[in-house]
Amino acid sequence: MKSNPIVILLLAALFLTGCGEKIDPEATGPSESSIIAAESLLDLTMTSSERQMMRPSLEDQQHNYQALRAMDLDNHERPALRFDPEIANSSPYSEDRGPLFSPDPLVRRPNDLNDLAFFSVRELGYLIRTRQVSCTELTQLSLTRLERYGPQLECVVSLTKERALIQARKLDEMLDSGQYLGPLHGIPFGAKDLLAVEGTLTTWGATPYKDQRLDQTATVIEKLDAAGAVLVAKLTLGALAMDDVWFGGQTRNPWNLEEGSSGSSAGPGSAVSAGLVPFALGTETLGSIVSPSTRCGVTGLRPSFGRVSRHGAMALSWSMDKIGPMARSVEDCALVFEAIRGFDPQDPTTVDRPFNFSANEGLDGLRIGYLKSIFETDHRGSELDDQALDVLRKTGAQLVPLEFPLDDFGVPNPWDLIIILTAEAGAAFQELTLDNRDDLLVRQRPGDWPDIFRSAQFIPAVEYIQANRARVRLQAMMKQVFESVDVYVTPSLAGPSLMITNLTGHPQVVLPSGFLEENKPHSISFVGDLYDEATVLQVAKVYQDATVWHDRHPTGFTE
């Protein structure tokens, strides 16, 4: 076990009262010099008598820590406290009439089935329903492409070939007997390898877990199974959901093989972009769907917190983790979201809320904001972001300038609240810090997980709670924002929106908006009100239908 002589002091150092007694050299507990060192880390100052008084209490707390560490806590065991995204939002919800998707695309089977590699979920679904293509053919095509291009892109942890082919044959038999499960019937997909699938490896992308097999299947996988989708591969993620480096290498961006695909949903972004799967499941805590979608030029949906069950998913931050689809189009994301959303008794953070998406509603009556000061800030891609606003205006959007009223709510820089994520991640993987297995992780630089997990042991519980109190103010601020607009548009990675909305649990759609230079995709993002994926997807679809960027695909993966 690593020796952290200060860690036992940090939480207790805040429970202090004054005392005028002289120092007793016989007192038990940590030395006064250790307490002074802890004070410097916590930006605290106390008297010598105060330090003397708390030495026995600190020793007692050390015993508490040791007792807790002796427990065998699995990653899936959640804390008693849970984040409530509705704490500042009590708006009524409409009746759930369900989504209304576009009419059938009326495509025909191509002479060369390889041409299907970049078809949308909707197009593939039509071909299967009309029996022009079989589920088995489509599954085999995806498996073949994964086997061919997966090693080059370093985007596949393991294929689920036997499972997939058995399922595809069964789905074909169901069609033969007149049973059709819906628009995902027979559609292959990949899953980020932090989602458990019984009978497969679930490695979390990290060396300490590279041989891990979990005796459960994630709820989202079970829901997609029930909808007729076919899991063909477990796809890479940056180790323990950071960036794009995993125990087997660095996942590549299909647009530029010299560049990583970004992360942490690295494999899903790369595989969808290269036409290896029509869609994939990613997860986001702080940009892990938005960033690889941007880098790889695909469309991603980060749903509201609690919309999609996380049962069977690796926990990084119990109050921030979210699961969502990455696909070729906004409507494909909506199709997948409809299949995976909803309450799950195995995940008490989940909720049932309406999803009244309408593919052809347009923008009439919608108030669309834009983060004016962020768009006006000089940042990479600012010209493309301005062009995205022009596209929206041409579609009839009446854009409303918008700012985050952080000062009005007395909220600090939202990035200062990152200790919420850090503390929860440090707890989720404390075992790695305590038994030195953090040394097995590939990346060992300042700011990588080993460093973050160690630093997290020094975050006082009081400061974690204070950060969550500030988080409630952010939630109240966002409630005010969505009293003036229905959706707002923002540069995907510039400004505070990404941090704010991951803390408050609001949904975001990210989609291609052009190229910064040759083979370097850029994106724009739309953010919606809590649980209102329907409206934000509707607005994003109007924008996407007016552009061609989602129809561009990287060369070298078309054979």
Share of the chain above pLDDT 70, in %: 94
Consecutive H or E run containing 260: strand 256-260
Closest alpha carbon to 288 in 118, 421, 467: 421
Q: Are residues 30 and 175 in the same domain?
A: no
pLDDT tens profile 486-503: 999 999 999 999 999 999
396 part of a folded domain: yes
Give the span between the Cα atoms of 445 and 103, in whole angstroms. 51
3-state secondary structure of 400: strand
450: which residues sit within 8 A by CB, 6+ positions away? 432, 433, 438, 439, 441, 443, 444
Q: Are residues 228 and 302 in the same domain?
A: yes
Q: Are residues 179 and 233 in the same domain?
A: yes
Q: What was the pLDDT predicted at 27?
A: 57
Token pair listed for 234: 């477990």
Give the span between the Cα atoms of 531 and 356, in whole angstroms. 11
Q: Are residues 156 and 265 in the same domain?
A: yes
386 part of a folded domain: yes
Closest alpha carbon to 379 in 230, 528, 496: 496
449 part of a folded domain: no
Which pTM does this prediction carry?
0.92
Our CA angle for 144, 150, 153, nearest 5°, is 145
Token pair listed for 411: 């909220």
Q: Given 120, 192, 309, 317, which residue is catalytic?
A: 192
Cβ distance 44 to 494 under 8 Å?
no
Q: What was the pLDDT predicted at 339?
A: 98
Q: Are residues 38 and 143 in the same domain?
A: no
Token pair listed for 415: 């990035």
Q: Given 262, 264, 317, 329, which residue is catalytic?
A: 264
Q: Compute the average pLDDT of residues 398-406.
A: 96
Q: 60 pLDDT exceeds 70?
A: yes
Give the span between the Cα atoms of 225 and 219, in whole angstroms. 10
Q: Are residues 270 and 136 in the same domain?
A: yes
Closest alpha carbon to 99 in 550, 543, 532: 532
Give the span between the Cα atoms of 325 and 332, in whole angstroms. 9
420 part of a folded domain: no
Query: Would residue 288 show up in a list of annotated catalytic residues for this protein?
Result: yes
Token pair listed for 362: 């347009």
2 part of a folded domain: yes
Residue 62 CB: number of other CB atoms within 10 A?
A: 16
Query: Would residue 192 show up in a list of annotated catalytic residues for this protein?
Result: yes
454 part of a folded domain: no
Comparing 62-71, 223-232, 233-242, the range with the smallest average pLDDT is 62-71
**DSSP state letters, 406-466:** TGGGT---GGGGGHHHHHHHHHHTHHHHHTTGGGGSS--STTSHHHHHHHHTT--HHHHHH
463 part of a folded domain: no
Token pair listed for 381: 């891609």
Our CA angle for 227, 231, 235, nearest 5°, is 135
Q: Compute the average pLDDT of residues 381-386.
A: 98
Q: What is the CA radius of gyration of the chain?
A: 25
Indicate if the alpha-carbon torsion angle 307, 313, 319, 322 is positive or negative: negative
Q: What was the pLDDT predicted at 26?
A: 54
Q: What was the pLDDT predicted at 418?
A: 96
Print the domain residue range for 45: 1-71
308 part of a folded domain: yes
Give the span between the Cα atoms of 240 and 457, in whole angstroms. 18
Q: 6 pLDDT exceeds 60?
A: no
Cβ distance 507 to 536 under 8 Å?
yes
Q: Are residues 20 and 139 in the same domain?
A: no
Cβ distance 38 to 6 under 8 Å?
yes
Q: Given 142, 261, 288, 309, which residue is catalytic?
A: 288
Q: Compute the average pLDDT of residues 12-39.
A: 61
Cβ distance 503 to 414 under 8 Å?
yes
Give the span between the Cα atoms of 274 and 325, in whole angstroms. 16
pLDDT tens profile 120-177: 999 999 999 999 999 999 999 999 999 999 999 999 999 999 999 999 999 999 999 9
> CATH number, domain at 129?
3.90.1300.10
Indicate if the alpha-carbon torsion angle 25, 26, 27, 33 is positive or negative: positive
Give the pLDDT band of residue 547 (cuts 50, 70, 90): very high
Q: Are residues 152 and 29 in the same domain?
A: no
**Angle, nearest 10°, between helix axes 266-273 and 135-153?**
120
Q: Are residues 251 and 303 in the same domain?
A: yes
Q: Are residues 203 and 280 in the same domain?
A: yes
Tally the domains of the chain.
2
User: In Å, what is the CA distance from 139 to each residue of 145, 160, 504?
Assistant: 10, 11, 38
Cβ distance 138 to 186 under 8 Å?
yes
Query: Would residue 264 show up in a list of annotated catalytic residues for this protein?
Result: yes
Token pair listed for 255: 């647009």
Domain boundary among 50, 71, 92: 71
pLDDT tens profile 465-484: 999 999 999 999 999 999 99
Which of 29-38, 76-85, 302-311 is modeled with the greatest confidence?
302-311
Q: What was the pLDDT predicted at 435?
A: 95
> How buried is 343 (Cβ within 10 angstroms: 0-12 exposed, 13-18 middle, 19+ buried)?
middle
Q: Are residues 135 and 29 in the same domain?
A: no
